[in-house]
Copies of this chain bind each other. A is one copy, B any other.
Amino acid sequence: MPSRALHRDIRLLDAPFHPGALIGPFTEANPGLGGVCTFVGEVRSDPGVEALELTHYEPLTLSGMHDLADRAFQRFTLMGLLMVHRIGLMRPGEPIVCVSAAALHRRDAIDAVDFCMDHLKSAAWFWKREKRAGQWYWIEPREADHRDLARWQS
């Protein structure tokens, strides 16, 4: 496959989306692939949580996701990368993030998704708050997220 264009689809969405409707076209846009790995994160049904809101800072957030995609393409041998993130108000059960990587070999596809998710979780420009009993509470970064991120420093 000499000099074929890499397929890249990076989006911020302010309304509910259906991951299945993204993955089919993404897979078809990467003919000849060996494997596709996809992660979909949803708003968990934690007891008492009525809603979740993700704020972003437009001048930084989308360009930060493009920088992250650049680094994933540099670090792994990929054919295509899809990275879609919700912003705004969400209810439990709604998809919040979808990352999909297509590659000739499964190791690249799986590791690229792992890499992008770790960075989206703790190094991307999002601020999260959740509503419990009618009150909004800001979410602090989790220690586990920082540990996950540190795996990629080496």
Please give the count of copies of this chain that the complex contains.
2
**Which residue of B has the minimal Cβ distance to A27?**
B40
Report the minimal beta-carbon distance from A124 to chain B, rounded to whole angstroms: 14
Known contacts A106-B117, A110-B110: A93-B31 contact under CB 8 Å: yes
A34 engages B44 (CB within 8 Å): yes
Partner of A110, one of B31, B34, B114: B114
Enumerate chain B residues within 8 angstroms of A113, measured Cβ to Cβ: 37, 110
Q: How large is the interface on A (under 10, 10 to 19, 20 to 34, 35 or more residues)?
A: 20 to 34
Enumerate chain B residues within 8 angstroms of A107, measured Cβ to Cβ: 144, 148
Report the minimal beta-carbon distance from A80 to chain B, rounded to whole angstroms: 13
Quick check: is A39 within 8 A (CB to CB) of the other chain?
A: yes
B34 engages A37 (CB within 8 Å): no
**Interface of A with B (CB < 8 Å)?**
20, 23-24, 27, 31-42, 44-45, 92-93, 104, 106-107, 109-110, 113-114, 117, 121, 144, 148
